[in-house]
Amino acid sequence: MNAKQYYEQNKAIRDTWAAKQKRRCMKCHSPDQWPGLQIHEMEQKSAAPRSWLDPCNFLLLCQRDHEGFHNGNTRDSHIEQLRVKIREDAEHFSLGKWLTLRPRGEDYITMEDLSEN
């Protein structure tokens, strides 16, 4: 199955997740207004072409915050994004599952890294 087929077969997961979220940016809490909220994948499609469509990977963001997260695909950026996920969508947060979307060491990010002390 190629990446396009994967998306077509699984896009309902993404749409269902988005429909259940509050209509505001998960990072800055701005309301849903033009140009609208966007679904952000913390693990990019290009890095995980056949596994990225999972609710543990999604954030609902305003355009500014969405662009900001795309400008830094680094470990620190992933930590910040996962902190937002824990705060705003704990139901779908799973660090273990997120870490398996793209092969890398289990210690790439730990729960200790995500604590906001």
The pLDDT assigned to 50 comes to: 80
Total domains present in the chain: 1
Q: What is the pLDDT along the chain (117 residues), one digit of tens a residue?
A: 777 888 888 889 999 999 999 999 999 999 877 678 999 999 988 888 888 899 999 999 999 999 999 877 688 999 999 999 999 999 999 999 999 998 777 679 999 999 976
Strand ranges, E, within 1-117: 38-41, 58-61
Q: Which two tokens stand for residue 23?
A: 């209509």
Note down the domain range covering 93. Answer: 3-114
User: Could you tell me which of 54, 53, 77, 51 has the C-alpha nearest to residue 66?
Assistant: 77
pTM: 0.88
Q: Which two tokens stand for residue 69?
A: 């997260």
Residue 59, strand partner residues: 40
